[in-house]
Amino acid sequence: MIETPLRKIDCHVHLLGDGSSGSGCWLRMRTLVQRLMARIIVHEPGLLGMWMGFGG
């Protein structure tokens, strides 16, 4: 039996918080464009906006 070597996958993730749990992790969106982009980023994968401090 010939074994095929496992393929490596290169990936990364982005984590951020809204500071509501006291972790100190948060993202400040200062401009209207930044806030709109954040809403799109949260909406596309089906995340709830209220989890990101947008008030749902």
pLDDT, averaged in runs of 10, over the chain (56 residues): 85 75 77 87 67 49
* Sequence letter at residue 14: H
Q: How far apart are CA 48 and CA 52, in angstroms?
A: 7
Instruction: Please say whether the dihedral angle defined by the alpha carbons of residues 51, 15, 11 and 34, taken in this order, is positive or negative.
Output: positive
Which of 25, 18, 21, 14 is closest to 51 using CA atoms? 18
According to DSSP, the residues that pair with 26 across neighbouring strands are 18
pLDDT of residue 50: 53
